[in-house]
Structure 1
Protein backbone atom coordinates (compact mmCIF):
# COMPACT_ATOMS: atom_id res chain seq x y z
CA UNK A 1 0.00 0.00 0.00
CA UNK A 2 1.15 3.53 -0.76
CA UNK A 3 0.19 6.31 1.64
CA UNK A 4 1.35 9.90 1.10
CA UNK A 5 0.02 13.25 2.17
CA UNK A 6 -0.07 16.27 -0.09
CA UNK A 7 2.00 18.20 2.45
CA UNK A 8 4.69 15.49 2.60
CA UNK A 9 4.91 15.42 -1.19
CA UNK A 10 4.93 19.23 -1.37
CA UNK A 11 7.99 19.32 0.93
CA UNK A 12 9.92 16.86 -1.27
CA UNK A 13 11.34 16.57 -4.79
CA UNK A 14 7.80 15.65 -5.90
CA UNK A 15 7.06 19.40 -6.08
CA UNK A 16 8.03 20.61 -9.56
CA UNK A 17 7.87 24.31 -10.50
CA UNK A 18 7.64 26.05 -13.86
CA UNK A 19 6.94 29.65 -14.89
CA UNK A 20 3.13 29.31 -14.99
CA UNK A 21 2.47 26.46 -12.55
CA UNK A 22 3.72 24.11 -9.90
CA UNK A 23 2.79 20.47 -9.60
CA UNK A 24 2.97 18.02 -6.71
CA UNK A 25 3.41 14.57 -8.23
CA UNK A 26 1.61 12.28 -5.79
CA UNK A 27 1.95 9.10 -7.89
CA UNK A 28 4.61 8.48 -10.53
CA UNK A 29 5.80 5.76 -12.89
CA UNK A 30 7.95 4.10 -10.22
CA UNK A 31 4.83 3.60 -8.08
CA UNK A 32 3.75 0.98 -10.68
CA UNK A 33 0.10 2.01 -10.90
CA UNK A 34 0.05 2.51 -14.69
CA UNK A 35 -0.79 6.23 -14.35
CA UNK A 36 0.49 9.28 -12.50
CA UNK A 37 -1.59 11.57 -10.29
CA UNK A 38 -0.75 15.21 -9.59
CA UNK A 39 -2.17 18.17 -7.71
CA UNK A 40 -1.25 21.21 -9.79
CA UNK A 41 -1.51 24.92 -9.03
CA UNK A 42 -1.88 27.18 -12.06
CA UNK A 43 -0.82 30.76 -11.39
CA UNK A 44 -3.38 33.53 -11.91
CA UNK A 45 -3.47 35.49 -15.16
CA UNK A 46 -1.21 33.06 -17.02
CA UNK A 47 -1.65 31.26 -20.34
CA UNK A 48 0.17 27.98 -20.93
CA UNK A 49 0.46 26.40 -24.40
CA UNK A 50 0.38 22.61 -24.03
CA UNK A 51 0.56 19.70 -26.48
CA UNK A 52 0.91 16.29 -24.84
CA UNK A 53 2.11 14.24 -27.80
CA UNK A 54 3.26 11.37 -25.57
CA UNK A 55 0.57 11.36 -22.88
CA UNK A 56 -3.18 11.42 -22.35
CA UNK A 57 -4.41 13.61 -19.48
CA UNK A 58 -7.58 14.18 -17.50
CA UNK A 59 -7.91 17.34 -15.42
CA UNK A 60 -10.43 18.00 -12.63
CA UNK A 61 -10.76 21.56 -11.29
CA UNK A 62 -10.82 21.77 -7.49
CA UNK A 63 -10.69 25.57 -7.15
CA UNK A 64 -10.25 28.73 -9.21
CA UNK A 65 -11.46 29.64 -12.68
CA UNK A 66 -10.07 29.66 -16.18
CA UNK A 67 -10.59 28.22 -19.63
CA UNK A 68 -9.10 25.72 -22.05
CA UNK A 69 -8.99 26.35 -25.80
CA UNK A 70 -8.33 23.64 -28.37
CA UNK A 71 -5.98 25.08 -30.98
CA UNK A 72 -7.29 23.00 -33.91
CA UNK A 73 -10.81 24.46 -33.81
CA UNK A 74 -10.57 27.45 -31.45
CA UNK A 75 -13.26 25.99 -29.21
CA UNK A 76 -13.14 27.46 -25.68
CA UNK A 77 -14.45 25.72 -22.56
CA UNK A 78 -14.90 27.40 -19.19
CA UNK A 79 -13.20 25.73 -16.24
CA UNK A 80 -14.50 26.15 -12.70
CA UNK A 81 -14.68 23.91 -9.63
CA UNK A 82 -16.32 20.61 -10.56
CA UNK A 83 -15.26 20.73 -14.24
CA UNK A 84 -13.42 17.78 -15.79
CA UNK A 85 -11.71 18.01 -19.16
CA UNK A 86 -9.97 15.13 -20.89
CA UNK A 87 -7.25 15.44 -23.53
CA UNK A 88 -8.04 12.13 -25.21
CA UNK A 89 -6.69 12.97 -28.66
CA UNK A 90 -3.34 14.53 -27.73
CA UNK A 91 -5.11 17.87 -28.21
CA UNK A 92 -2.89 20.92 -28.63
CA UNK A 93 -4.44 23.48 -26.29
CA UNK A 94 -4.08 26.75 -24.43
CA UNK A 95 -4.79 26.69 -20.72
CA UNK A 96 -5.68 30.06 -19.19
CA UNK A 97 -5.99 30.65 -15.46
CA UNK A 98 -8.03 33.75 -14.59
CA UNK A 99 -7.44 33.18 -10.89
CA UNK A 100 -5.13 30.78 -9.10
CA UNK A 101 -6.45 27.32 -9.95
CA UNK A 102 -5.91 24.00 -8.21
CA UNK A 103 -6.48 20.95 -10.40
CA UNK A 104 -6.07 17.20 -10.03
CA UNK A 105 -4.40 15.59 -13.07
CA UNK A 106 -4.04 11.99 -14.18
CA UNK A 107 -1.50 11.06 -16.89
CA UNK A 108 -1.21 7.92 -18.97
CA UNK A 109 1.47 6.77 -19.48
CA UNK A 110 2.65 7.93 -16.07
CA UNK A 111 5.24 10.66 -15.65
CA UNK A 112 8.63 9.93 -14.10
CA UNK A 113 8.54 13.10 -12.02
CA UNK A 114 10.75 15.93 -13.27
CA UNK A 115 8.92 16.66 -16.54
CA UNK A 116 8.27 20.25 -17.59
CA UNK A 117 6.91 21.47 -20.93
CA UNK A 118 9.40 21.98 -23.75
CA UNK A 119 9.20 24.87 -26.25
CA UNK A 120 6.27 23.08 -27.98
CA UNK A 121 4.33 22.42 -24.76
CA UNK A 122 5.31 18.73 -24.78
CA UNK A 123 6.40 16.51 -21.89
CA UNK A 124 9.09 14.01 -22.93
CA UNK A 125 8.13 10.35 -22.79
CA UNK A 126 11.05 9.66 -20.45
CA UNK A 127 12.52 12.11 -17.95
CA UNK A 128 14.53 12.19 -14.75
CA UNK A 129 12.99 10.02 -12.07
CA UNK A 130 12.29 11.39 -8.61
CA UNK A 131 14.00 9.23 -6.02
CA UNK A 132 12.52 8.96 -2.54
Structure 2
Protein backbone atom coordinates (compact mmCIF):
# COMPACT_ATOMS: atom_id res chain seq x y z
CA UNK A 1 0.00 0.00 0.00
CA UNK A 2 1.18 3.51 -0.79
CA UNK A 3 0.15 6.33 1.53
CA UNK A 4 1.38 9.89 0.99
CA UNK A 5 0.31 13.27 2.28
CA UNK A 6 0.30 16.27 -0.02
CA UNK A 7 2.16 18.26 2.63
CA UNK A 8 4.96 15.67 2.67
CA UNK A 9 5.49 15.81 -1.10
CA UNK A 10 5.26 19.60 -1.49
CA UNK A 11 8.69 21.22 -1.67
CA UNK A 12 10.46 17.99 -2.66
CA UNK A 13 11.89 16.92 -6.04
CA UNK A 14 8.36 15.69 -6.84
CA UNK A 15 7.02 19.27 -6.70
CA UNK A 16 7.59 20.67 -10.19
CA UNK A 17 7.30 24.40 -10.92
CA UNK A 18 6.81 25.82 -14.40
CA UNK A 19 5.41 28.95 -16.02
CA UNK A 20 1.76 29.29 -15.08
CA UNK A 21 1.51 26.12 -13.00
CA UNK A 22 3.07 23.87 -10.42
CA UNK A 23 2.43 20.21 -9.84
CA UNK A 24 2.90 17.90 -6.87
CA UNK A 25 3.43 14.42 -8.34
CA UNK A 26 1.98 12.07 -5.72
CA UNK A 27 2.18 8.83 -7.76
CA UNK A 28 4.78 8.29 -10.46
CA UNK A 29 5.93 5.67 -12.95
CA UNK A 30 8.27 4.10 -10.38
CA UNK A 31 5.27 3.37 -8.15
CA UNK A 32 4.16 0.85 -10.80
CA UNK A 33 0.44 1.67 -10.65
CA UNK A 34 0.02 2.10 -14.43
CA UNK A 35 -0.88 5.79 -14.07
CA UNK A 36 0.44 8.86 -12.30
CA UNK A 37 -1.53 11.14 -9.99
CA UNK A 38 -0.80 14.83 -9.47
CA UNK A 39 -2.24 17.78 -7.59
CA UNK A 40 -1.65 20.69 -9.94
CA UNK A 41 -2.18 24.38 -9.33
CA UNK A 42 -2.95 26.51 -12.37
CA UNK A 43 -1.90 30.01 -11.37
CA UNK A 44 -4.41 32.87 -11.44
CA UNK A 45 -4.79 34.40 -14.92
CA UNK A 46 -2.59 31.70 -16.50
CA UNK A 47 -3.24 30.65 -20.09
CA UNK A 48 -1.62 27.32 -20.94
CA UNK A 49 -1.43 25.86 -24.45
CA UNK A 50 -1.10 22.09 -24.09
CA UNK A 51 -1.24 19.01 -26.26
CA UNK A 52 -0.51 15.69 -24.58
CA UNK A 53 0.42 13.72 -27.70
CA UNK A 54 1.96 10.89 -25.67
CA UNK A 55 -0.39 10.74 -22.68
CA UNK A 56 -4.07 10.56 -21.84
CA UNK A 57 -5.17 12.83 -19.00
CA UNK A 58 -8.21 13.14 -16.78
CA UNK A 59 -8.61 16.22 -14.57
CA UNK A 60 -10.96 17.03 -11.69
CA UNK A 61 -11.21 20.63 -10.52
CA UNK A 62 -11.05 20.82 -6.73
CA UNK A 63 -11.26 24.62 -6.49
CA UNK A 64 -11.07 27.78 -8.57
CA UNK A 65 -12.66 28.81 -11.85
CA UNK A 66 -11.49 28.90 -15.43
CA UNK A 67 -12.14 27.34 -18.80
CA UNK A 68 -10.77 24.85 -21.29
CA UNK A 69 -10.84 25.54 -25.02
CA UNK A 70 -10.55 22.81 -27.61
CA UNK A 71 -8.07 23.69 -30.35
CA UNK A 72 -9.86 21.18 -32.56
CA UNK A 73 -13.30 22.80 -32.74
CA UNK A 74 -12.92 26.02 -30.70
CA UNK A 75 -15.52 25.01 -28.12
CA UNK A 76 -14.99 26.54 -24.67
CA UNK A 77 -16.11 24.73 -21.52
CA UNK A 78 -16.33 26.35 -18.08
CA UNK A 79 -14.26 24.77 -15.32
CA UNK A 80 -15.13 25.11 -11.63
CA UNK A 81 -15.02 22.95 -8.52
CA UNK A 82 -16.70 19.65 -9.29
CA UNK A 83 -15.93 19.68 -13.04
CA UNK A 84 -14.05 16.78 -14.66
CA UNK A 85 -12.62 16.70 -18.16
CA UNK A 86 -10.78 13.92 -19.97
CA UNK A 87 -8.42 14.41 -22.90
CA UNK A 88 -9.31 11.04 -24.38
CA UNK A 89 -8.28 11.95 -27.93
CA UNK A 90 -4.96 13.61 -27.06
CA UNK A 91 -6.90 16.83 -27.54
CA UNK A 92 -4.83 19.99 -28.07
CA UNK A 93 -6.29 22.61 -25.76
CA UNK A 94 -5.92 25.90 -23.94
CA UNK A 95 -6.50 25.93 -20.19
CA UNK A 96 -7.24 29.27 -18.57
CA UNK A 97 -7.54 30.15 -14.90
CA UNK A 98 -9.54 33.22 -14.03
CA UNK A 99 -8.87 35.51 -11.05
CA UNK A 100 -7.86 32.79 -8.61
CA UNK A 101 -5.72 29.64 -8.86
CA UNK A 102 -7.38 26.41 -9.94
CA UNK A 103 -6.46 23.33 -7.91
CA UNK A 104 -6.69 20.23 -10.09
CA UNK A 105 -6.38 16.50 -9.39
CA UNK A 106 -4.83 14.95 -12.51
CA UNK A 107 -4.30 11.38 -13.69
CA UNK A 108 -1.91 10.55 -16.55
CA UNK A 109 -1.61 7.36 -18.57
CA UNK A 110 1.06 6.28 -19.21
CA UNK A 111 2.47 7.49 -15.90
CA UNK A 112 5.09 10.22 -15.88
CA UNK A 113 8.48 9.91 -14.20
CA UNK A 114 8.03 13.15 -12.28
CA UNK A 115 10.41 15.65 -13.86
CA UNK A 116 8.42 16.36 -17.03
CA UNK A 117 7.52 19.85 -18.12
CA UNK A 118 5.74 20.83 -21.33
CA UNK A 119 7.86 21.04 -24.46
CA UNK A 120 7.44 23.70 -27.15
CA UNK A 121 4.35 21.87 -28.49
CA UNK A 122 2.70 21.66 -25.06
CA UNK A 123 3.40 17.93 -24.66
CA UNK A 124 5.28 15.78 -22.20
CA UNK A 125 7.91 13.59 -23.91
CA UNK A 126 7.19 9.97 -24.77
CA UNK A 127 8.96 7.53 -22.50
CA UNK A 128 10.72 4.41 -23.62
CA UNK A 129 9.47 1.27 -21.97
Coarse TM-score class (shorter-chain normalised): over 0.9
Per-residue CA deviations over 1:8-50 (Å, capped at 9, x if unaligned) read 1103111000011000000000000000000000000010000
Report the equivalent of 1:125.
126
The aligned counterpart of 2:109 is 108
In the alignment, what sits opposite 1:4? 4
Q: State the number of aligned residues.
A: 127
Question: Over aligned residue pairs, what C-alpha RMSD do you find?
Answer: 1.0
* Structure 1: stretches of 5+ with no match in the other structure: 128-132
Q: Which residue of 2 aligns with 1:37?
A: 37
Q: How far apart, CA to CA, are the structure 1 residues paired with 2:24 and 2:127?
A: 18
SS at 1:7 equivalent: helix
CA distance in 1, matches of 2:83, 2:8: 27
Unaligned runs of 5+ in 2: none
Distance in 2 (alpha carbons) for counterparts of 1:24 and 1:74 = 30
Question: Which aligned pairs between 1:32-111 and structure 2 lie closer than 5 A?
Answer: 32-98=32-98, 99-111=100-112
TM-score, reference length from structure 1: 0.94
Query: In 2, Cα distance between the equivalents of 1:46 and 1:23?
Result: 14
- Partner SS for 1:24: strand
TM-score normalised by structure 2 residue count: 0.96
Once superposed, which parts of structure 1, at least 4 consecutive aligned residues long, lie more than 6 Å away? Answer: none
